[in-house]
Amino acid sequence: MGNRPPLRALYAFEAAARHGSFKAAAAELGVTPTAISHQVRLLEEICGLKLFQRRPRPLVLTSAGARLFPILRNAFDLLAGSLAAVAEPDVQAPLRVTSPNAFASRWLVPRLPKWREANPAIPLEIIGTDALLDLRAGAADVAIRYTRRPPLGLAAHEICRDSFFPVCSPRLLASDGRAIERAADLLRYPLIHFDWMNRDPDAPTWSRWLATARSIDPELIPDKAWDLSFREELHAIDAVVAGQGIAICSDVVVGRELENGSLVKAHPLSLPGYSFYVVWMHHSPRSAVKESFLAWMRTAA
């Protein structure tokens, strides 16, 4: 036991390295930043090496710290998985899957009967939320993440990537009686906008679409106010389906509506979207069940 480093020091270093901040690590562990600093210095004394470059901002790992961090991160993940395995969870317990709201409602839920047909012994609990639930804390077993790159520190598997283009109800176009032949023709109709909570400056919004379309149709109005704006993407989609205007939507999220004709492309110009990833913690329990869910998602996509 005498050769084992203090667990508090290991936790403090791993949290500080993961967050890139003593302050954030302290908030996670419920201590002060000074306590984190003392524990890191203790670990450095034990190792005989500096683990962080002492700068005000940002906190940067030394080469020794960069070697130690992934070892500790994987060790803690393995420990968490081992403790969960010891608990022997009921194989009949639902697999808890968290997903962005719009994807859960428009893509995942309509396909769940196929899951039950293929996996009748594995119930699912779908947690629709646009918040990023903490898998490390056990908030869910599997997450569907919508992002440009694979999430770090998790087993991540890409399912599909989407594109965005203007969509509307065919009833809206029929009510006008005139065909859309150019990008500027879209401005005859109400434009529906929804908030991008991730604040990505490159998000596929009306602003970006109009800026791109202006290169091929100079008559587009430089700045047009949105006729209708929603905080929630699902509400914007509902308004489009109801014939209230045109929105920039994901071809994955509204794929079912495009297939059944309740929505149509209003213009072929598209913007690149993001990828949908199925992710879970490394070395976590019920790996066979998670692999089954991943395989089904790939088939359903």
Domain coordinates in residue numbering, the chain: 7-86, 95-160+275-300, 162-271
Would the pLDDT of 143 be above 70? yes
User: Quick one: tokens of 220?
Assistant: 């587009």
pLDDT (mean) for 120-142: 92
Rounded-to-5 percentages of helix, strand, coil across the chain: 45, 20, 40
| Class at the top of the CATH hierarchy for domain 162-271 | alpha beta
What CATH number was assigned to the domain covering residues 95-160+275-300?
A: 3.40.190.10
pLDDT in tens, 256-292: 999 999 999 999 999 999 999 999 999 888 888 999 9
Confidence at 2, pLDDT banded by 50, 70, 90: low
95 within 8 A of 293, measured Cβ to Cβ: yes
The residue ranking higher by pLDDT, 287 or 87, is: 287
pLDDT (mean) for 34-53: 92
Mean pLDDT of the chain: 89
pLDDT score recorded for residue 104: 97
Give the Cα separation of 10 and 40 in Å (integer).
8
Give the Cα separation of 243 and 246 in Å (integer).
8
The residue ranking higher by pLDDT, 178 or 86, is: 178
Distance set, CA 227 to CA 57, 65, 135, 192, 244 (Å): 43, 53, 39, 6, 10
Confidence at 225, pLDDT banded by 50, 70, 90: low
pLDDT score recorded for residue 135: 92
95-99 and 124-128: which strand pairing?
A: parallel
pLDDT in tens, 211-223: 999 888 887 776 6
Confidence at 191, pLDDT banded by 50, 70, 90: very high
pLDDT (mean) for 57-86: 81
Mean pLDDT is highest, among 79-83, 132-136, 165-169, for 165-169
Give the Cα separation of 173 and 184 in Å (integer).
15
pLDDT (mean) for 67-95: 75
Between 74-78, 129-133, 278-282, 287-291, the lowest mean confidence (pLDDT) is in 74-78
pLDDT (mean) for 8-34: 91
Mean pLDDT is highest, among 41-45, 81-85, 141-145, 205-209, for 141-145
pLDDT score recorded for residue 169: 97
Would the pLDDT of 56 be above 70? no
pLDDT (mean) for 238-260: 97
Would the pLDDT of 246 be above 60? yes
Tell me if domain 95-160+275-300 and domain 162-271 are identical in fold: yes
pLDDT score recorded for residue 20: 87
Would the pLDDT of 10 be above 90? yes
pLDDT score recorded for residue 1: 45
Q: Residue 145: CB partners within 8 Å, gap ≥ 6?
A: 132, 151, 156, 276, 277, 279
What CATH number was assigned to the domain covering residues 7-86?
A: 1.10.10.10
